Amino acid sequence: MTDGSPPTSDHVAHAPQSRHVPVLPAEVERHLAPRAGQTLLDCTAGLGGHSALLATKVLPGGTVILSDLDPGNLARARARVETAAPDVQIVALRGNFADAPRRLAELGLAADMVLADLGFSSSQMDDASRGLSFMRDGPLDMRFDPSGPTTAADLVNTLPQEELAELLRDFGEEPGWRAVAQKLVEERRAGPITSTSRLASIVRSVVGSRGGPSRIDPATRTFQALRIAVNDEMGSLRSLLEAVLRAAAILERSARTDAPASPVWLRPGARIGIISFHSLEDRQVKQTLGELVTRGLGKEVSRRPIEAGPEELAVNPRSRSAKLRVVEITAGTNRVV
């Protein structure tokens, strides 16, 4: 799940929600196909919704590795998994999922399932002090990791106008990228922009005047762009996907040459499921998972991206832009030992 603020045509300004509902839960379970004794790497533990569900299916003998940049969410996820599946082994990794492959290899762990449910959680969106929502006044922060080096205020108040404009164009797909950046630079001369409400009203003063009535809040794209930049979301996703490709290539090479398998953080036959919420992410997921298939290292578990059905859409508006893609690593599965 995510607020994600995706710039899709059907996006409506999000209403506050206090209860976390994981997206596509049945589809995640069906396509990752968990079995007893397996190891799950949940790259984005969040509030533990998906992990708790899958943890019950890897018993007896299974392991759930939880990773999150947000220490508060990591603790919540751990508690939820412990409650749902008290006998499951839990490994909690605070940090960026881009580092999870290396950390698993160092710990001598290998995953049978990898899940990444991108974006941010309801707990983060609902907490005004995180500065993620244009619906709540708060400091212009947006960091998933509260100890991260750069806040949204840092970017808005210090980036040169041209860089700010490119950020809005590339990560927000904001049609008025030049005008918004120009206005932000003008406004910050009067004093640093430090709150979500001031940022939202500046953006609305530029974007709100264009086009006809829209169901999309004019601040949506700017908030998304800044959040993606603050958390280096595209870079982290790229690193994770490249690590999957590299691991699959190692599994394939060691099976082909009959060399002793080097320790790899993925098991042959592992299933990789990525849930994305906007076209920038989905494009990258589609491209890298597609490369895995064309290189003969994996196969699609579902030919099309999996989306929420009418029942889920009716109860969980966050699911409306979710796309799940799943591949299975076939490299190394025919190794003779």
Ligand X SMILES: C[S@@+](CC[C@H](N)C(=O)[O-])C[C@H]1O[C@@H](n2cnc3c(N)ncnc32)[C@H](O)[C@@H]1O
Give the nearest distance from C-beta 117 to ligand X in angstroms.
4
- Which residue lies nearer to ligand X by CB, 204 or 238? 238
Window 242-261: residues binding ligand X (CB under 6 A): none
Shortest CB 120 distance to ligand X, Å: 5
If one asks whether residue 69 binds ligand X (CB under 6 A), the answer comes out as yes
Which of 38, 39, 63, 73 binds ligand X (CB under 6 A)? It is 73
Of 24, 40, 41, 47, the one binding ligand X (CB under 6 A) is: 47
The whole-angstrom separation of Cα 276 and Cα 319 is 10
Q: Closest Cα partner for 246 from 93, 68, 101, 100?
A: 101
> Does 176 participate in binding ligand X (rule CB under 6 A)?
no
Is 119 a binding residue for ligand X by CB under 6 A? The answer is yes
Q: Does 2 sit near ligand X (CB under 6 A)?
A: yes
Nearest distance in Å: CB 28, ligand X: 9
Helix, strand, coil percentages in the chain from 3-state DSSP, rounded to 5 = 45, 15, 40
Is residue 48 part of the contact set for ligand X (CB under 6 A)? yes
- In the block, tokens 């999150």 appear at 68
Nearer to ligand X, 114 or 184 (CB): 114
Q: Which of 236, 276, 321, 330 binds ligand X (CB under 6 A)?
A: 236
CB of 233 to ligand X, least distance (A): 6
Angle at 99 between CA 97 and CA 107, to 5 degrees: 110
Q: Give strand pairing partners of 272.
A: 114, 327
325 DSSP assignment: E
- Near ligand X in 129-168, by CB under 6 A: 144
Q: Is 171 in the site for ligand X (CB under 6 A)?
A: no
Q: Count CB neighbours of 253 within 10 A.
A: 14
Q: Which residues, other chains included, contact 250 with Cβ-Cβ below 8 Å and sequence gap of 6+?
A: 262, 264
Report DSSP letters for 267-319, one per residue: EEEEEEEEEE-SHHHHHHHHHHHHHHHHTTSEEESSSS-B---HHHHHH-GGG
* Member of 39, 67, 194, 288 binding ligand X (CB under 6 A): 67
User: Binding of ligand X at residue 44 (CB under 6 A)?
Assistant: yes
Q: Counting contacts by CB under 6 A, is residue 70 touching ligand X?
A: yes
Task: Give whole-number Cα distances, 157 to 191, 193, 332, in Å.
Answer: 9, 7, 50
User: Concatenated DSSP letters for 43-89?
Assistant: TT-TTSHHHHHHHTTS-SS-EEEEEES-HHHHHHHHHHHHHH-TTSE
Our finding on whether 321 is near ligand X (CB under 6 A) is: no
Query: Distance of CA 40 to CAs 44, 56, 96, 267, 299, Å?
Result: 12, 11, 17, 11, 19
Which region among 68-76, 159-167, 191-199, 206-214 touches ligand X (by CB under 6 A)? 68-76
Looking at 6, 7, 22, 131, which residue binds ligand X (CB under 6 A)? 22
Choose between 97 and 134: whose C-beta lies nearer to ligand X: 97
Burial class from Cβ neighbours inside 10 Å (0-12, 13-18, 19+) for residue 149 reads exposed
In the complex, residue closest to ligand X by CB? 46
Of 54, 88, 109, 117, which one interacts with ligand X (CB under 6 A)?
117
> Would you count residue 282 as binding ligand X (CB under 6 A)?
no
Binding residues for ligand X, rule: CB under 6 A, are 1-2, 20, 22, 44, 46-50, 67-70, 73, 96-97, 117, 119-121, 144, 231, 236
